Amino acid sequence: AEMDVWGWNDLNCGHFRDYICKFGNGTLPEDPVPEHEYANFTYVYHSQGRSWAGAESSCIADGGHLLSFANSAESAEIKAWLGTLGYEKRIWTGFNDMSEEGLWYWSDGTELSFYDWMEWQPDDWNNEDCAEMKYWSGWND
């Protein structure tokens, strides 16, 4: 079996990361590239780094939110798509615990049904309240 080389890591929200916006029901910005469709959602990859708040604001301005996962199948689909892009970096997800430490939730309101944290994560080291998806392992805050 192929090793799962993507995972979640918690990170200080001010760091700059590439990001993916998730859109539902035909809401899309103009000329998004690259994009991917799965289960009635469209995902748009943005290669210009932004802080978590900047990335979420950009997604909201276009009618979406930062990447969220309703289940492990959706997560696997996006990991596979990123693999086809040759993408091996770190990207913001909408997962955060900014409202209350330790209470993680998706910025778009998606119900939390599974975790994909990397080993020893989340650790809240240096006030890490936002989750990135990281190539090589699981989730980190």
CATH class of 6-140: alpha beta
* Euclidean distance between CA atoms 107 and 119, whole angstroms: 23
Could you tell me whether strands 90-96 and 17-24 are parallel, antiparallel, or unpaired per DSSP bridges? Answer: parallel
Is the pLDDT reported for residue 102 higher than 70? yes
User: What is the tens place of the pLDDT at every residue in 49-101?
Assistant: 999 999 999 999 999 999 999 999 999 999 889 888 877 678 999 999 999 99
| Cα torsion 75, 102, 108, 110: sign | positive
Q: What is the pLDDT of residue 137?
A: 45
Under the banding of pLDDT at 50, 70 and 90, the label for residue 126 is: confident
Global pTM?
Answer: 0.86
Average pLDDT value over all residues in the chain: 86
pLDDT at residue 2 in the model: 43
How many C-alpha atoms does 70 have within 13 Å on its Cβ side? 8
More confident residue, 92 or 48: 92
